[in-house]
């Protein structure tokens, strides 16, 4: 996060500039230190240049830790642009060209085949083109013909599929919760007492969790009396699970940091094992 003291005096600015200059020199020196390995390919320097630039950008991104600054903004916007360009080219290479150009104008060996392809593909191509009208303000309504088709398809499809995947598939194991443990525990398992009791306990916890959380998100009745207890239980369950998510999020971010650190120390500076 940006440091609180946005009010930066001139003297402070100069100090920062000096520091920046020093850092840059250090960076250049460190980059130059990278020595050329024996029997490297002759385009070695291209890669090296790339690594140096990447390292520079990485450091610039980290400069945000000190404060939001022009360099950071530049880098951020630059990569947004590159990503955008990458998307454009890939959409052309992997979608539009192979779906429209090749099958119509490259592949067909004879005219008849071309006509057949055209017949098969004209509808989606036209609809796709209609999508593009969304850009314009006046003809924009044309794009609705395509959008409604896509959205309608998605919506209609999603209803049974959601029921299947998120309701039925999730409900079935929840029903078998305790009985699964008690019922046909394969002979040889039901010997010790705890080997039954503990899973049962766990299943009961799951049961309580599902029901109480569902009830917490149940808005049609006031949460009074027993209800208030159940929803309270729900909150507690929610919190525990959020805790799990929290821990994992921290873990993920740290992993990213580790990765970048490895990049800086190994690939750029060539330090460490």
Nearest distance, CB of residue 34 and other proteins, angstroms: 14
Check binding of 215 to other proteins (CB under 8 A): yes
268, two tokens: 């750029």
CA distance 122 to 106: 16
Check binding of 270 to other proteins (CB under 8 A): no
How many residues of this chain bind other proteins (CB under 8 A)?
Answer: 189
Binding window for other proteins (CB under 8 A); candidates: 11-19, 25-33, 67-75: 67-75
For residue 234, count other CB atoms closer than 10 A to its CB.
22
Nearest distance, CB of residue 44 and other proteins, angstroms: 10
Q: Scanning the structure block, which residue is given the tokens 């309504």?
A: 141
Nearest distance, CB of residue 117 and other proteins, angstroms: 10
Check binding of 37 to other proteins (CB under 8 A): no
Cα three-residue angle 176-182-188, rounded to 5 degrees: 130
Buried b (16+ CB within 10 A) or exposed e, 195-218: eeeebeeebeeeeebbebbeebee
Using CB under 8 A as the binding rule, the residues of this chain from 135 to 164 that contact other proteins are 135-164
Nearest distance, CB of residue 8 and other proteins, angstroms: 11
Map residues 173-212 to x or -, x wherever contact with other proteins holds by CB under 8 A. xxxxxxx--xxx-xxxxxxxxx-xxx-xxx-xxxxxxxx-
Secondary structure class of 227 (helix, strand, coil): helix
Binding window for other proteins (CB under 8 A); candidates: 8-16, 19-27, 121-129: 121-129
Secondary structure class of 196 (helix, strand, coil): helix
Check binding of 8 to other proteins (CB under 8 A): no
């Amino acid at each position: 996060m940006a440091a609180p003291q946005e009010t930066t005096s001139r003297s402070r600015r100069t100090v920062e500039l000096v520091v920046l200059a020093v850092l840059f020199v250090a960076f250049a020196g460190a980059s130059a230190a990278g020595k050329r390995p024996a029997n490297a390919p002759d385009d070695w320097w291209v890669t090296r240049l790339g690594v140096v630039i990447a390292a520079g950008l990485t450091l610039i991104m980290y400069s945000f830790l000190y404060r939001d600054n022009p360099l950071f903004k530049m880098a951020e916007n630059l990569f947004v642009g590159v990503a955008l360009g990458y998307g454009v080219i890939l959409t052309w290479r992997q979608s539009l060209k192979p779906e429209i150009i090749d099958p119509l104008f490259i592949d067909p060996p004879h005219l008849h085949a071309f006509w057949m392809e055209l017949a098969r593909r004209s509808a989606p191509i036209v609809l796709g083109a209609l999508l593009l009208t969304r850009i314009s303000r006046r003809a924009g309504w044309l794009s609705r013909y395509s959008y409604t088709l896509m959205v309608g398809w998605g919506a209609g499809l999603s209803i049974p599929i959601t029921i299947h995947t998120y309701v039925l598939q999730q409900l079935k194991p929840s029903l078998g919760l305790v009985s699964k443990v008690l019922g046909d525990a394969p002979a040889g398992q039901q010997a010790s007492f705890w080997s039954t009791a503990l899973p049962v306990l766990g299943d009961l916890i799951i049961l309580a969790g599902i029901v109480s959380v569902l009830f917490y998100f149940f808005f049609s009745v006031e949460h009074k009396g027993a209800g208030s207890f159940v929803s309270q239980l729900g909150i507690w369950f929610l919190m525990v699970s959020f805790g799990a998510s929290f821990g994992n999020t921290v873990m993920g971010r740290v992993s990213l940091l580790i990765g970048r650190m490895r990049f800086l120390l190994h690939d750029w500076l060539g330090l460490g094992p």
